[in-house]
Amino acid sequence: MNPTEQEQVRSKSNDLIYGLHDRPALRESIFAALQHLLAIFVAIITPPLIISNALNFDLETTGFLVSMSLFVSGVATFIQCHRIGPIGTGLLCIQGTSFSFIGPIIGAGMLGMVGGKLNTEMALSYIFTACMFASVVEMLVSRLLKYTRKIITPLVSGIVVTLIGMSLVKAGINSCGGGAAAEADGSFGSLVNLGLAALVLFSIIIFNRSSNRFLRMSSIVLGLLIGCIAAYLMGMIHLDSIQSYGGFIIPVPFKYGFRFDISALISLGLVYLITAIEAYGDITANSLISGEPIEGEVFERRASGGILADGFNSMLAAVFNSFPNSIFAQNNGMIQLTGIASRYVGYYIAGALVVLGLFPVVGLVFSLIPAPVLGGATLLMFGTVAAAGIKIIASTQINRKAVLVMAISFALGLSVEMVPGILDHMPETIKNIFSSGITTGGLTAILTNAFIKIKE
């Protein structure tokens, strides 16, 4: 943000009803917490649904992963809002399952293929082991923040975010066609699947264009609901496939064991590096909106603590069989909307997420969402991620060097996504590392931006 924009946001922050350290009344706290939950709920449960769909996990496994995502997001949000020692921002800062890691996670899960068939336990053990150890990268960045910001410039960050969005579009369109189950029964890309995905996509667009702020905030939820109703009427949702909705989940650390693979570690480590820089931007925006300083010792302590918590919470997520967490930028807008920046509201949000995660009925119900319904919603989400990356790039000076860095990074990153067979003759470790367009393009962006020198 430039100084003028900062002043505009500061003037808006003066209209806050409750500041960072104020304690709103119970009714107001619950109302604000519900609006935050509305903004984040679908975003938290979608990554485990996409990953499960891509790796063809059964309903029970999918439901468990969704439940653990909610549980861990609650714990992570409490740590960010409360600040435990040096860990956390102490702001109303919400954490949830990150979309940025989906591509490398699916790649890590494919390591569980045995004899042409995926072993679920093996796949998840590779995923969670890599997520846990790679999270150290982000924790190290939090301690070396001023140096890493010189390496991961807005140009590099924008390129990687754009590649994340473009890479995820492949997973989204695969879901629109019906996913792995449709490929197996020959119905992939049928008019029924594509029509259902289109219904969800257009419903979300219509609600998102509404002048009613509540319809706009809940556009994805409403789109999914319309899709699920249509799918149920078409006989695509089978409630009898779930034997029991009851019970209570007791989180079990390291449920799937350990399996280590260096290629998965490197791929995920790069995304953690980029996520740290994104977190810095989100914390800056949150501080600004909350009327808190965005420079000086207090801010730097908050920023480093928030990034440290981002990494620590992702490690905690892997321990409790969930996927990496990151700070949710959309909740910054919710602070402006409600006029409530109190970190104590975060405790209500955290508590609600933990409770929702401990009851299997929540995860099991959402695991029934058909792939085309999910695809219709995520296709738009992933396109938005790519657009956000382009916006970051556009905020920088596009000189000859920047054009060259973008050209090389996008060319190499997208080439391995579109023609994965190009790596077939490489050693297995090299193939696993560079099969992700995010890793290939991201590393290329870092290196070319650092070493290419052009005299203008």
**pLDDT by residue (tens digit) across 330-385?**
677 678 767 888 999 999 999 999 998 998 888 777 778 888 998 888 888 778 77
pLDDT band at 9 (very low <50, low <70, confident <90, very high): very low
Which residues share a beta bridge with 113?
118
Under the banding of pLDDT at 50, 70 and 90, the label for residue 17 is: confident
The model carries a pTM of 0.77
What pLDDT was estimated at residue 246?
A: 63
Residues paired with 18 in a beta bridge: 340
Question: Average pLDDT of 305-322?
Answer: 95
Which of 11-25, 223-237, 386-400, 434-448 shows the lowest per-residue confidence on average (mean pLDDT)? 11-25
Classify 158 as helix, strand or coil. Answer: helix
Percent of the chain with pLDDT over 90: 36
67-81, 146-160, 231-245, 417-431 — which one is most confidently predicted on average?
67-81
Greatest alpha-carbon pair distance for the chain in Å reads 68
pLDDT of residue 242: 66
* C-alpha torsion 444→277→384→78, nearest 10: 140
pLDDT value at residue 245:
60
pLDDT, residue 15, reads 67
Residue boundaries of the structural domains of the chain: 15-176+245-388
* Assigned token pair, 224: 């999914």
Q: How far apart are alpha carbons 431 and 105 in whole angstroms?
A: 15
R_g over Cα of the chain: 21
Token representation of residue 275: 């996520």
Cα-based distances in Å from 208 to 125, 165, 223, 229: 38, 20, 10, 19
